[in-house]
Amino acid sequence: MDTARAARVARNERGEREAEHSVSAIDWITQLLYIAAATCFVLGLHLMNSPATARRGNQVSTAGMAIAVATTLVLVIHAGTVSVTGWIVMIAGALLGGGAGLYAARTVQMTAMPQLVSIFNAVGGGAAALVAINDYVKVAGASAGVAESTTVATILDVLIGAVTFSGSIIAAGKLQGLINAAPISFRGSRAANIAAAVVGVGGGIYMIATPDVVVLVIIILAALAFGVTMVLPIGGADMPVVISLLNAFTGTAVAMAGFVIGNWALIIAGALVGASGGILTKLMADAMNRSIRNIIVGGFGTGDDQAAALEGPGGDVRSIAADDAAIQLAYASKVIIVPGYGLAAAQAQHQVAELAKLLEERGVEVSYAIHPVAGRMPGHMNVLLAEANVPYPQLKEMEEINPEFPRTDVALVIGANDVTNPAARRPGTAISGMPILDVDNAKSIIVIKRSMGHGYAGIDNELYVNPKTSMYFADAKSALTNLTAAVKTLVG
Amino acid sequence: MTTELLTDITIFVLSLLVGFEVISKVPATLHTPLMSAANSIHGIVLVGAMLIAVTANNALGYILAFVAAAFAAMNVVGGYVVTGRMLKMFRRARTPVPAGKAPAGIAGSAGSADGHGPGGPGGPE
């Protein structure tokens, strides 16, 4: 225990040549500044409660980060142990990474946001793992030995960080279309996944008893393999949940890195992110009527699943042409637009905004019903519509908009499927219990969809055979362009 | 078990609870920017990456320091800039705001100073 304590103290006060137990002035100031930074992070997140204050929140959070980094810089200079090479390496790395991040952030398309968040998750998790690896390699070589508590934090950090790193890269590749978005499973993929997990955890337990750098390398490789085999079998439609989960992982890895190097700023910030990622993951999974375990185990969403072969209600499908749809829309007094994954995939957010604007100019009351999982990551649809200049008060959440459907003349469903299926209200279907938008309560319904194809739940949508429903079969982008043109000719 | 470890665990657990409390109130509209903001906050690992450099004295140490610094800086700079970019698009009324249409002042966020990203992570350079 004495050696453990000594090792920890030594690392806590890196470069501090002063007393072993009393806290020096610079330590005091540093800790206070780190607390200030942490306060900024909490306030920043708190200000995200409303779109009106969210920007200020981000600025407060940025200020917190500036404080933390500047404080560390002073600490590093004060320690005075950094070699010239060390400085060059650190500055070159920061400039390179910062530049790449800046470029990506400035140029990314809003539809590609999930990929970017995934990449940032990957590098964050990777950096957290590297911090622990470096520390372990260093301490393992020292005479003081490695404290068990530090080893546990190191192992957790390395495991979670490496899984996040490889998992996020695969997720980004799937979202970008570089890797097939469909669930990929090869012979023995499940076995490989389990084997990787066993090796990782087993190696970790071995390492607690017998510190060994070689075992650490094995653990890293196993964790990387686990990340890959975990995300590959997950379908594209489940990506909102996966990204959210990986975000939580990164936060946890960073907090573990904080344990390893004894830095409160990392612990607090990492825990905040871990908690937020955890909550979002839960919200997303609930909104999709899936358990997190279910998603990770994967395989669902291939479309060929034996999804409770529901006997189609057997009605006729009525299709509609642009002109007729335009008349319905132009003479309605209240229209609710229900955008879904198909709208995001077709990148038709600008077209839908244009149509809505045209209708509004005619005095039609237009609002958007946003299901929590619309888009490719939580809240993604809101960002896409914000980009298309749609004012956020028009974007209504599910609980808020559902009571409004009965007094709606036309519900315009664009590329949304399962989230509008009334079958969810009955027990015994693949989506039973999933919260849905009550589109079928509207006086009439127009569905823009490329085909009668299934949503990722793989079942028929009873909404499409509802007598009030007309189907407009087309790609979201061209359909909306045609509708807008038709409304324009109609009203002159 | 050391007192330092106990302190660390206390801080960790309390921070988790604060995180749950603060995030639960965020509306679904802001979930993507929220995730992106949380993403930038875990860029704090840059602090850890900088501390690696303090003790680096061999090739392995330098490589680890370099990669960690690059990863973390990318995370932090990119995260804050892209969050700022997204939030800038959220408007209460259509812009450019036609005179008299939007209640002036409410859309205040749209007009506020443009102070995002690069200011923070500028530190290490």
CATH of residue A479: 3.40.50.1220
Residue A119 has pLDDT above 90, yes or no: yes
Tens of pLDDT, residues A341-393: 788 878 888 899 999 999 999 899 999 999 887 777 888 888 888 888 888 88
- For the ranges A5-9, A31-35, A174-178, the lowest mean pLDDT is seen at A5-9
Q: Is residue A305 part of a domain?
A: no
A282 and A172 housed in the same domain: yes
Which parts of chain B register pLDDT below 50?
96-125
Chain B: give the shortest CA distance to residue A240, in Å: 10
Residue A312 has pLDDT above 60, yes or no: no
Q: Is residue A162 part of a domain?
A: yes
pLDDT for the residue numbered A78: 85
| Domain ranges, residue A180 | 2-297
A375 and A246 housed in the same domain: no
Per the document, the length of chain A is 492
B97: tokens are 């705001």
Q: Do the beta carbons of residue A26 and residue B84 sit within 8 Å?
A: no
Higher-confidence residue: A149 or A193? A193
Q: How far apart are CA A181 and CA A185, in angstroms?
A: 12
| Domain ranges, residue B56 | 29-90
pLDDT for the residue numbered B40: 93
Tens of pLDDT, residues A239-298: 778 888 999 999 999 999 999 988 999 999 999 999 989 988 888 888 777 777 777 765
Q: How many domains does chain B have?
A: 1
Q: Is residue B1 part of a domain?
A: no
Q: Is residue A260 part of a domain?
A: yes
Q: How far apart are CA A196 and CA B3, in angstroms?
A: 35
Q: Round the average pLDDT of chain A to a whole number and report it.
A: 84
Q: Do the beta carbons of residue B117 and residue B80 sit within 8 Å?
A: yes
A289 and A352 housed in the same domain: no
A275 and A329 housed in the same domain: no
A114 and A263 housed in the same domain: yes
Q: How far apart are CA A171 and CA A227, in angstroms?
A: 10
Q: Could you count the other beta carbons within 10 Å of the beta carbon of residue B98?
A: 9
User: Which one of A141-145, A166-170, A189-193 scores highest in mean pLDDT?
Assistant: A166-170
Chain A: give the shortest CA distance to residue B99, in Å: 16
Q: How far apart are CA A440 and CA A205, in angstroms?
A: 55
- Find which of A82, A146, A276 to mutate to test the B interface (most B CBs within 10 Å of its CB): A276
Single out the residue in A264, A297, A330 at which a domain terminates: A297
Question: Would the CB atoms of A93 and B27 count as touching at under 8 Å?
Answer: no
Q: Is residue A137 part of a domain?
A: yes
Q: Which helix (H) or strand (E) holds B73?
A: helix B59-89
pLDDT for the residue numbered A11: 52
A230 and A357 housed in the same domain: no
A25: tokens are 């002035």
Q: How far apart are CA A461 and CA A313, in angstroms?
A: 9
Question: Would the CB atoms of A279 and B20 count as touching at under 8 Å?
Answer: yes
Q: Is residue A310 part of a domain?
A: no
Q: Is residue B80 part of a domain?
A: yes
Question: Would the CB atoms of A124 and B71 count as touching at under 8 Å?
Answer: yes
ipTM: 0.82
A22 and A103 housed in the same domain: yes
Q: How far apart are CA A462 and CA A299, in angstroms?
A: 24
Q: Is residue B124 part of a domain?
A: no
- A212 has catalytic annotation: no
Q: How far apart are CA A348 and CA A353, in angstroms?
A: 9
- Which residues are CB-contacts of B9 (< 8 A; sequence separation ≥ 6)? none
Q: Do the beta carbons of residue A102 and residue B25 sit within 8 Å?
A: no
Question: What average pLDDT does range A7-20 have in this prediction?
Answer: 46
Interface A–B counts its CB contacts (< 8 A) at 458
Question: What average pLDDT does range A458-473 have in this prediction?
Answer: 86
Q: Could you count the other beta carbons within 10 Å of the beta carbon of residue B105?
A: 7
A150 and A11 housed in the same domain: yes
Q: Is residue A456 part of a domain?
A: yes
- Which residues are CB-contacts of A109 (< 8 A; sequence separation ≥ 6)? none
Q: Is residue B9 part of a domain?
A: no
In the structure, what pLDDT confidence band is assigned to residue A141 with cuts at 50, 70 and 90?
low
Per the document, the length of chain B is 125
Residues of chain A in contact with residue B111, where contact means CB-CB under 8 angstroms, are none
Catalytic-role residue among A135, A418, A438, A440 = A418
Q: How many domains does chain A have?
A: 2
- Find which of A31, A33, A48 to mutate to test the B interface (most B CBs within 10 Å of its CB): A48
A253 and A330 housed in the same domain: no
Q: Which helix (H) or strand (E) holds A337?
A: strand A334-339
